[in-house]
Chain A
């Protein structure tokens, strides 16, 4: 995206502006809390308490963050190519089918680490397959990927209800879910990791997927900034015409990007299915695919930004649960509002404060030429 605005110093661009946008989003959220007749300050302190105050809370925070790192990475890889993949929700859902099939098949035969390797591959493959059709249609037939991925979310949801109710539910069971996996289909928890810092995670399902998420973040960084493919992806995102002129096969890049994006979204399923529930349930994604949009926008599509952004949303999810115990008026739906506000201020309105900042830094630098500043638009 070419910006019609003046260039700002790096720390303003990557630290100050996101922080300002985030602050405004939270101020508006605080306003909603006030309208409901509650104290935003009390809510904020409960939030931090619930998310960091004790070992189990911290464990849950990182458990949720794991989901959002995967979906955030998925959205951001697509962003780099100029594609908006809203289908993370559906891709993660279908990824879950891959994980569950592998676990149901191998959990009695293999130890967990072998099942895990197959399950990682299956989750990525299933997620990628679900993203392939929108990617292919965008690349070859010009159908807008935003619309097709939205449609695919709904199709995924219907398909999974059908699969769970009619196909993979155990005989004689009423609940639309698979059987519980045996030992060989359960990921070990990372209680030892937090124990090193003196926290006891209690019953929190913080598990190996977190490490997988961090590794995925590293690989995304390598891919986007250190490989030829990543360069081609970024070129496509910056200017499709320039990319085509430079001999980059645009259809191929679009499809590959969507496959990677869908694969990352699909891998999110490892965390709740193999790491926590040990079975496939309806709606296990629970909006994590959409949170990925907020996370990617907040983290400026860079893994270094995505990880803290994902942890912030982990804090909101875990701390939000805590708040709703103490202040029943503020249910977890508050998080949905905050999510929307973050997407609005960090995404759609990201340039709202930029002209003011540009003017401010221009006067700070004492650059005497005011006509330079006025090109920045209204």
Chain B
């Protein structure tokens, strides 16, 4: 394989691996920008992946699977919202709880319903999202480099992949160019001011949490119905936490979120590529180091050595209306 091919394969893997991160990190962006910390991204994604895989298998429809994934994820998001907005509970504790409930429930229900050791039945045909081939692939195929780049990097991905990348500018537009976005960000910085303006803080925060649930639903559906053909026990494997790390790494900004997710996805792809291949000068880099790198980078960032990550001011603080 020449270097061009290697680069192409790695970049394609980067895109494939970063899509769930982008969706989950954008989900976290909506929630955290409104002042609701969410370390339950992992749990929501996992539950959505299971619901999507299960519903798609039972109804033989990828679309119904996606709907089920979103519905379940939004339900969990509402539990988090109820605990942290209405009951003014600790948001971290609530997120931890949701992660555990999701890990346990997906296995127990999966085993009870399908009896395949926590898997859902194999998806295929109508029940799974297929890769989309964009037009002109054949026309461009003869052009060196551009043809290959077009065929494997731009074309040939799942619908949800294009959706994820489209959500980046869309999220930016919603957060920075709409009244809803302004209020959402204001609720995360200074809820008292928003309240004074006669806007319900509670309502805004619930809406933000629902947005978060919807996007996590997409992320879960991508895992179990597009990349893989069915749900596998614990298939998120810490992606929710990497997304959280990416969100912090991106300093809570939509375009940065995409770049951070692409970076972490690239590190993941690189780890797979470099397995067993020594590098010049350094020698063989342990796989484990590559796997830990996103977390190490985030800690270094948090320590303030690569700029400063300042979270939304009112993040994690329940709002108590004065009376």
Binding site for B on A (CB under 8 A): 4, 32, 35-37, 84, 86, 133, 137, 141-144, 146-148, 150-152, 154-155, 158-159, 161-162, 165-166, 290, 293, 297, 329-331, 333-341, 343-344, 347-352, 377
Contact of B84 among A158, A293, A348 (CB under 8 A): A348
Contact A348/B302 with A147-B248, A159-B288, A329-B111 known, Cβ cut-off 8 Å = no
Residue of A nearest to B295 (CB): A151
B250-277 contacts to A, CB under 8 A, are none
Cα distance A351–B229 in the bound complex, in angstroms:
42
Residues of B with C-beta under 8 A to A32: 105, 108
Residues of B with C-beta under 8 A to A330: 108
Contact of B97 among A143, A155, A162, A348 (CB under 8 A): A348
Q: How far is the CB of B7 from chain A (nearest CB, A)?
A: 26
Contact of B103 among A142, A162, A336, A343 (CB under 8 A): A336
Q: Is the CB of A162 within 8 A of B288?
A: yes
Cα distance A344–B76 in the bound complex, in angstroms:
12
B101 CB within 8 Å of chain A: yes
Cα distance A148–B291 in the bound complex, in angstroms:
16
Q: Is the CB of B93 within 8 A of A348?
A: yes
Q: How far is the CB of A34 from chain B (nearest CB, A)?
A: 11
Residues of B with C-beta under 8 A to A137: 299, 302-303
Residues of B with C-beta under 8 A to A148: 299, 302
Given A146-B92, A150-B39, A348-B84, output 15 extra A-B contacts at Cβ < 8 Å.
A35-B112, A36-B109, A143-B302, A144-B302, A147-B248, A151-B241, A151-B298, A154-B238, A158-B292, A159-B292, A290-B100, A329-B108, A344-B79, A347-B96, A349-B82
DSSP majority for the B interface? Answer: helix
Cα distance A280–B92 in the bound complex, in angstroms:
31
Most chain A CB inside 10 Å of its own CB: which residue of B89, B108, B241:
B108
Q: How far is the CB of B228 from chain A (nearest CB, A)?
A: 20
Contact of A340 among B101, B286, B292, B299 (CB under 8 A): B101
B104 CB within 8 Å of chain A: yes
Residues of B with C-beta under 8 A to A351: 87-89
Q: Is the CB of B289 within 8 A of A341?
A: no
Q: Is the CB of A347 within 8 A of B105?
A: no
Q: Is the CB of A340 within 8 A of B99?
A: yes
Q: Is the CB of A348 within 8 A of B99?
A: no
Q: Is the CB of B311 within 8 A of A339?
A: no
Residues of A with C-beta under 8 A to B118: 333
Q: How far is the CB of A372 from chain B (nearest CB, A)?
A: 14
B64 CB within 8 Å of chain A: no
B9 CB within 8 Å of chain A: no
Residue of B nearest to A33 (CB): B108
Contact of B303 among A35, A143, A337 (CB under 8 A): A143
A/B interface sample: 21 pairs, CB < 8 A: A36-B109, A143-B302, A143-B304, A144-B311, A151-B299, A158-B292, A161-B288, A165-B288, A290-B96, A293-B96, A331-B108, A333-B118, A337-B108, A338-B104, A340-B99, A343-B100, A344-B94, A344-B101, A347-B90, A348-B90, A352-B87
Cα distance A165–B287 in the bound complex, in angstroms:
11
Binding site for A on B (CB under 8 A): 39, 79, 82-84, 87-94, 96-105, 107-109, 111-112, 118, 238, 241, 244-245, 248, 286, 288-289, 291-292, 295-296, 298-299, 302-304, 311, 320
Cα distance A158–B271 in the bound complex, in angstroms:
13
Most chain A CB inside 10 Å of its own CB: which residue of B118, B292, B298:
B292
Q: Is the CB of A347 within 8 A of B94?
A: yes
Q: How far is the CB of B205 from chain A (nearest CB, A)?
A: 15
Q: Is the CB of B93 within 8 A of A35?
A: no
Contact of B299 among A146, A152, A348 (CB under 8 A): A152
Residue of A nearest to B91 (CB): A348
Contact A339/B93 with A159-B288, A166-B286 known, Cβ cut-off 8 Å = no
Cα distance A86–B42 in the bound complex, in angstroms:
15
Q: How far is the CB of A211 from chain B (nearest CB, A)?
A: 30
Q: Is the CB of B98 within 8 A of A340?
A: yes
Q: How far is the CB of A203 from chain B (nearest CB, A)?
A: 27
Residues of A with C-beta under 8 A to B320: 4, 377
Q: How far is the CB of B87 from chain A (nearest CB, A)?
A: 5
Q: Is the CB of A349 within 8 A of B296?
A: no
Residues of B with C-beta under 8 A to A144: 302, 311
Q: How far is the CB of A333 from chain B (nearest CB, A)?
A: 4
Residues of A with C-beta under 8 A to B84: 348
Residue of B nearest to A1 (CB): B90
Q: Is the CB of A35 within 8 A of B88?
A: no
Q: Is the CB of A339 within 8 A of B104?
A: yes
Cα distance A347–B118 in the bound complex, in angstroms:
28
Contact A141/B303 with A162-B286, A162-B289, A333-B108 known, Cβ cut-off 8 Å = yes
Going nearest first, the 4 A-B pairs with the smallest beta carbon separation are A340-B100, A336-B104, A337-B104, A348-B94
Q: Is the CB of A154 within 8 A of B241?
A: yes
Q: How far is the CB of B211 from chain A (nearest CB, A)?
A: 20
Q: Is the CB of A343 within 8 A of B93?
A: yes
Residues of A with C-beta under 8 A to B288: 158-159, 161-162, 165
Q: How far is the CB of B100 from chain A (nearest CB, A)?
A: 3
Cα distance A86–B97 in the bound complex, in angstroms:
12
Contact of A349 among B87, B91, B105, B109 (CB under 8 A): B87
Q: Is the CB of A344 within 8 A of B92?
A: no
Q: Is the CB of B112 within 8 A of A329?
A: yes
Most chain B CB inside 10 Å of its own CB: which residue of A159, A290, A330, A349:
A349
Residue of B nearest to A29 (CB): B104
Cα distance A297–B286 in the bound complex, in angstroms:
38
Q: Is the CB of B39 within 8 A of A331?
A: no
Residues of A with C-beta under 8 A to B244: 147, 150
Cα distance A352–B88 in the bound complex, in angstroms:
9
Q: Is the CB of B97 within 8 A of A343?
A: yes
Residues of A with C-beta under 8 A to B39: 146, 150
Most chain B CB inside 10 Å of its own CB: which residue of A165, A333, A341:
A333
Q: How far is the CB of A62 from chain B (nearest CB, A)?
A: 23
Residue of B nearest to A330 (CB): B108
Cα distance A297–B84 in the bound complex, in angstroms:
16
Residue of A nearest to B99 (CB): A340
Contact A337/B96 with A329-B111, A351-B88 known, Cβ cut-off 8 Å = no
Q: How far is the CB of A140 from chain B (nearest CB, A)?
A: 9
Cα distance A330–B109 in the bound complex, in angstroms:
9
Q: Is the CB of A349 within 8 A of B89?
A: yes
Contact A334/B94 with A137-B302, A162-B288 known, Cβ cut-off 8 Å = no
